[in-house]
Amino acid sequence: MRRKFLAGMALLVLVGCAALGGLEQREKIYGKAAPVITQSFASKQMRLGDTWKIYLNASDPDGDMKTIISTIDQKGVGTYPVSFTRIREDQQRENLSGYIYLNTVGTYGLDYTTLVLNVQIQDKAGHYSAPASFPLAFNPTAHQENPPPGLFKDKALGPIVIVLTTAGAKGGGE
């Protein structure tokens, strides 16, 4: 038993060292700076069936932003599977501005439900930005707010590929 434990620990150390070596190699190619979400905005309420726009401004001195990573936490459902939105090559610069979006068309039974979207940006070296969180309440009388004028480009960066479900329904993120 002790031999298995020591062998497992040795394997864990080797894998950790290999992963660290990979990070060092990627940092030599892409740089050591992590992306930063500098500004963000999303309406806190909207009607079910609308498309929720989450506006982001991000920077990375190395100019190697790669992926926008999104998760949604919903009470009674849990955390949905992760959505990866690839940042297109023509957008991979030092500064990124636009919106990701969640389509709720065809989603039913979630009026008065709240959820929280968490967003991070990963770069090619493997660094992550600090997460940004956005609460949302579905309200049949709400209208989605527009972002402050002049702060964000009105440019779609890509979808959040998560299908919302009601608590207890099959296929949720439990």
Domain extents for the chain? 1-30, 31-159
The Cα–Cα gap between 107 and 163 comes to: 8
User: What pLDDT, on the 0 to 100 scale, is given for residue 3?
Assistant: 47
> What length does the chain have?
174
Q: Are 34 and 57 in contact (CB under 8 A)?
A: no
Terminal Cα-to-Cα distance of the chain (whole angstroms): 34
Q: How confident is the model at residue 111 (pLDDT cuts 50, 70, 90)?
A: very high
Say whether 90 sits in a helix, a strand or coil: helix
User: What pLDDT, on the 0 to 100 scale, is given for residue 59?
Assistant: 96
The Cα–Cα gap between 25 and 47 comes to: 47
Q: Is this model's pTM higher than 0.85 or not?
A: no
- pLDDT, averaged across the chain: 86
Pinpoint the alpha helices (H) of 1-118: 2-30
> Could you confirm whether domain 31-159 is CATH 2.60.40.1220?
yes
- Which secondary structure element, helix H or strand E, spans residue 158, and what is its range? strand 156-159
pLDDT in tens, 48-69: 999 999 999 999 999 999 999 9
DSSP 128: B
User: What pLDDT, on the 0 to 100 scale, is given for residue 160?
Assistant: 98
User: What pLDDT, on the 0 to 100 scale, is given for residue 169?
Assistant: 66
Judge residue 139's burial from the number of C-beta atoms within 10 Å of its C-beta, 0-12 exposed, 13-18 middle, 19 or more buried. Answer: middle
Mean pLDDT of 28-50: 92
DSSP 89: G
Backbone phi and psi for residue 23, each to the nearest 5 degrees, phi listed first? -65, -45
Q: How confident is the model at residue 24 (pLDDT cuts 50, 70, 90)?
A: confident
User: What pLDDT, on the 0 to 100 scale, is given for residue 92?
Assistant: 66
User: What pLDDT, on the 0 to 100 scale, is given for residue 81?
Assistant: 97
pLDDT in tens, 7-18: 444 343 334 444
